[in-house]
């Protein structure tokens, strides 16, 4: 296919994807607003995420799914695209809660949808509000709620794995929930940061085992060790550059999430 034809194809495909997203998202949101029960709404949102991926030609494969615990856990994954959350919603059990930056509440339609499926929000700009959000997350985790974090906090135009915030690992440590690192392959290629034009492709979701909570003591050095173990597994699985030295995180940060 010549370059002009590729450009035309990407343009048509992009409009198709965004139109499909708008229509499916609107219908899903209507049902989420009227459907009683958080469990039912989460099952519906998982079904909608799967439908969207199939509709737009994004194939996905969950590898080593047997390593995902049946009991409550804290999942951590790399973050390189807005597609990451949709993919994780499609492949993980419906009962998982996603921990997301509070800025997403202001995104039209998406904020309301995320609230209706029980997402947990963290204010990264206000320390007091962020502390209250973190305590709420701790209470849910102590009650046995499985959670999903993107501990890089955001994504950039550069290819590579950024430093991890400590929030997910503090949660796991204090609630004695195991940490499950997951490597997401292919989402950046399908929907690049800063580009409105997606492309079809395949995503691989690779479960990288479990880091048991009972091996972690309740002190900062052990929390950092848990973070480093999880990050090392993801970095090795991805084979991407290590960007942690390019942007050192505040040593007091404990709740950075996306």
pLDDT digits (tens, 9 = 90+) for 238-252: 999 999 875 544 433
In contact, 123 and 103? CB cutoff 8 Å? no
How far, rounded to the nearest angstrom, does the alpha carbon of residue 28 sit from its chain's CA centroid? 20
In the chain the domains, ranked by start, together with CATH numbers, are 3-246 (3.40.1130)
pLDDT digits (tens, 9 = 90+) for 24-73: 999 999 999 999 999 999 999 999 999 999 998 999 999 999 999 989 99
- Average pLDDT value for the chain: 87
Q: Find all residues with CB under 8 Å of 67, minimum gap 6, and list them.
A: 180, 207, 208, 209, 210
Phi-psi region of 220 (alpha: psi -120 to 50; beta: other; left: phi over 0): alpha
pLDDT digits (tens, 9 = 90+) for 176-229: 899 999 999 999 999 988 888 888 899 999 999 999 875 545 678 888 899 999
pLDDT, residue 256, reads 42
Query: Which residues are registered as beta bridge partners of 204?
Result: 61, 185
Give the pLDDT mean for 65-82. 93
Q: In whole angstroms, how far apart are CA 244 and each of 30, 213, 255?
A: 41, 24, 17
Distance CA 172, CA 218 (A): 10
Q: Alpha helices of the chain — where are they, by DSSP H?
A: 3-34, 38-55, 83-91, 110-116, 127-142, 167-175, 187-190, 220-238
Q: What percent of the chain has pLDDT over 90?
A: 55
- Could you give the angle at the alpha carbon of 195 between the alpha carbons of 236 and 241, nearest 5°? 20
Question: Over 70: is that where the pLDDT of 86 sits?
Answer: yes
pLDDT, residue 102, reads 80
Query: At 1, is the pLDDT very low, low, confident or very high (cuts 50, 70, 90)?
Result: low
Distance CA 113, CA 30 (A): 9
Distance CA 104, CA 193 (A): 16
**Radius of gyration over alpha carbons of the chain, in Å?**
18
pLDDT, residue 111, reads 85
> What is 59-98 written as a DSSP string?
EEEEESGGGS-SS--EEEE---STHHHHHHHHHS-TTPEE
Q: In whole angstroms, how far apart are CA 76 and each of 119, 154, 210?
A: 15, 13, 11
Give the global pTM: 0.87
């Amino acid at each position: 296919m010549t370059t002009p034809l590729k450009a035309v194809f990407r343009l048509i495909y992009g409009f198709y994807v965004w139109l499909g997203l708008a229509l499916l998202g609107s219908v899903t949101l209507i049902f989420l607003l009227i459907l009683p029960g958080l469990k039912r709404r989460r099952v519906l949102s998982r079904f909608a995420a799967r439908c969207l991926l199939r509709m737009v030609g994004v194939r996905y494969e969950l590898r080593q799914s047997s390593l995902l615990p049946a009991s409550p856990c804290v999942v951590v994954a790399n973050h390189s695209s807005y597609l990451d959350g949709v993919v994780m919603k499609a492949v993980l059990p419906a009962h998982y809660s996603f921990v997301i930056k509070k800025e997403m509440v202001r995104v039209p339609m998406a904020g309301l949808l995320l609230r209706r499926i029980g997402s947990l929000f963290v204010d990264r700009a206000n320390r007091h509000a962020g502390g209250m959000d973190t305590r709420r997350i701790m209470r849910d985790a102590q009650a046995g709620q499985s959670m999903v974090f993107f501990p890089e906090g955001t994504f950039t135009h550069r290819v590579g794995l950024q430093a991890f915030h400590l929030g997910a690992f503090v949660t796991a440590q204090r609630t004695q929930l195991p940490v499950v690192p997951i490597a997401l392959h292919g989402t950046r290629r399908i929907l690049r940061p800063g580009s409105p034009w997606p492309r079809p492709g395949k995503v691989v979701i690779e479960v990288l085992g479990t880091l048991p909570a009972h091996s972690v003591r309740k002190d900062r050095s052990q929390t950092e060790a848990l973070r480093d173990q999880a990050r090392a597994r993801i970095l090795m699985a991805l084979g991407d550059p290590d960007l942690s030295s390019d942007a050192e995180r505040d040593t007091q940060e404990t709740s950075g999430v996306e």
